[in-house]
């Protein structure tokens, strides 16, 4: 009976988000409250349960996600993204612009949220496409594939960061594994796939052009690269140092403080405020205004991530998580493949990659927590993240962003956007399964 209640709750969540178009945060809350009551939680205990679930997610993610949004906005506004793009195009040459745009999208995509990155980078893509007389889609798809890979697989993006929290994984190790999986997915879905899209008829919306800064106002390439990649470098580097450091080392408490993801992100913001701000003559108040503007982007996303907290908390507090884990034990299917399939099914129904990933995580968390299953939580984050990107179609905001920005037909959007997202997802799954046999 309890499994039926959970299945009904998931169906209700899908219906609210995909059909009724209810805000995902409100949908998560309504379904979590209804599920708690149906599972026998006394009504008076439901609000504290919901608050506990919200707090458990927000407490561990607010700084990482908010700081990531601030850094991404500053990277673009300061001209660092433009410097990276133009430098890489010059380095790769005009015949390999697709590879240059893939590298640009990946580097800049680490700190940028997907929708924000799309809106801010696509004008740069159009400027480069127009400058060299190349098909817009063939130039854009490698960059968008890179953004998609970062969005689904790499912290500090909201969905991977939320999955790390739900599965109690390591942020640094997940980022390291995610980067290994991301490279082949990016290559196949980006520059390789883009070769088949040169005849797609697409052009920018009227009036959409890059906000290009003069060359003398751009930061240096090394400043741009190191500042953009600083969170990834610190998180991966700190993980390696902590693994190598003796557990009895006197400096270990200080090391764990400095390498905590929250502290890493705050240190990165401080460094970026100088390297991309005050050191280049920009007033600190202007840098803070850029950081403040980024919070308008992150607020709705943060609430969606938080909304998954009560759903998981209800499953844990009622003991249903153990029943779900027991049900999974009888399935003769690789847990990572199962996670991918479940996430794909939810993604097709609800559209949102973030909602799909977090919903699947609430169901799969007991499986990861069960020692008998032997599931690596870091790889489970990547399996769910890869599944959340598959089969984007008309119920996904990203589908319409691509269609409208490129003035493409519905059919061409399926041929370009949907195919690209699905390639990323499938190659990501294969990478996770291969990595599972190695680590």
Give per-residue pLDDT as tens, 233-287: 777 676 666 666 666 666 667 777 877 778 888 998 999 999 999 999 899 999 9
Torsion angles phi and psi, residue 110, rounded to 5: -60, -45
**Listed range (59-73, 116-130, 164-178, 346-360) with the worst mean pLDDT:** 116-130
**Listed range (66-70, 94-98, 329-333) with the worst mean pLDDT:** 329-333
Whether the predicted pLDDT of 305 surpasses 80: no
Whether the predicted pLDDT of 120 surpasses 70: no
Say what the pTM is. 0.72
Q: What is the pLDDT of residue 386?
A: 94
Nearest to 299 by CA among 401, 158, 155, 162: 158
Give per-residue pLDDT as tens, 194-237: 888 877 777 665 544 446 778 888 899 899 888 888 877 777 67
Report the 3 state secondary structure along 188-210: HHHHHHHHHHCCCCCCCCCCCCC
Domain that holds residue 407: 2-438
Q: What is the pLDDT of residue 325?
A: 62
Mean pLDDT of 94-103: 84
Task: Tally the domains of the chain.
Answer: 1
Q: What is the pLDDT of residue 378?
A: 93
Better-predicted residue by pLDDT, 392 or 385: 385
Residue 242: partners with Cβ closer than 8 Å, 6 or more residues away: 172, 252, 255, 256, 259
Q: What is the pLDDT of residue 327?
A: 67
Mean pLDDT of 137-155: 87
Q: What is the pLDDT of residue 434?
A: 94
Task: Give the Cα separation of 146 and 356 in Å (integer).
Answer: 20
Q: What is the pLDDT of residue 129?
A: 75
Render 19-70 in DSSP notation, one character per residue.
IS---HHHHHHHHHHHHHHHTT--GGGHHHHHHHHHHHHHHHHHHHHHHHHH
């Amino acid at each position: 009976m309890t499994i039926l209640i959970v299945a009904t709750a998931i169906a209700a969540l899908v219906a609210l988000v995909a059909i009724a178009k209810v805000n995902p945060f409100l949908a998560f809350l309504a379904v979590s409250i209804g599920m708690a009551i149906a599972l026998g939680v006394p009504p008076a205990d439901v609000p504290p349960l919901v608050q506990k679930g919200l707090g458990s997610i927000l407490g561990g993610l607010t700084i990482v996600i908010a700081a990531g949004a601030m850094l991404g906005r500053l990277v673009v506004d300061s001209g660092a993204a433009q410097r990276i793009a133009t430098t890489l195009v010059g380095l790769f040459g005009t015949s390999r612009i697709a590879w240059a745009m893939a590298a640009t999208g990946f580097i800049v995509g680490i700190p940028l949220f997907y929708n924000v990155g799309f809106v801010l980078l696509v004008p740069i893509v159009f400027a480069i496409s127009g400058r060299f007389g190349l098909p817009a889609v063939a130039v854009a798809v490698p960059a968008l594939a890179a953004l998609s890979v970062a969005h689904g697989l790499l912290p500090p993006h909201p969905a991977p960061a939320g999955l790390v929290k739900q599965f109690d994984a390591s942020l640094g190790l997940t980022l390291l594994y995610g980067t290994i999986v991301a490279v082949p997915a990016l290559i196949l879905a980006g520059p390789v796939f883009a070769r088949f899209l040169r005849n797609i008829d697409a052009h920018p919306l009227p009036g959409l052009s890059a906000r290009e800064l003069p060359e003398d106002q751009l930061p240096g390439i090394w400043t741009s690269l190191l500042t953009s990649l600083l969170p990834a470098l610190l998180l991966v580097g700190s993980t390696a140092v902590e693994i190598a450091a003796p557990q009895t080392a006197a400096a270990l408490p200080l090391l764990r403080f400095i390498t905590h993801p929250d502290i890493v992100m705050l240190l990165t913001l401080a460094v970026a405020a100088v390297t991309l701000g005050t050191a280049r003559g920009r007033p600190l108040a202007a840098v803070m205004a850029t950081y403040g503007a980024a919070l308008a982007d992150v607020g709705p996303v943060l609430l969606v991530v938080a909304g998954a907290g009560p759903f998981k908390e209800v499953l844990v507090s009622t003991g249903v998580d153990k029943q779900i884990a027991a049900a999974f034990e009888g399935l003769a299917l690789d847990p990572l493949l199962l996670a991918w399939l479940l996430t794909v099914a939810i993604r097709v129904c609800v559209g949102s990659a973030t909602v799909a990933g977090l919903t699947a995580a609430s169901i799969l968390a007991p499986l990861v927590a069960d020692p008998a299953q032997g599931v690596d939580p870091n790889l489970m984050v990547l399996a769910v993240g890869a599944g959340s990107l598959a089969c984007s179609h008309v119920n996904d905001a990203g589908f319409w962003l691509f269609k409208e920005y490129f003035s493409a037909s519905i059919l061409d959007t399926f041929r370009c956007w949907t195919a690209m997202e699905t390639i990323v997802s499938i190659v990501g799954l294969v990478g996770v399964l291969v990595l599972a046999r190695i680590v």
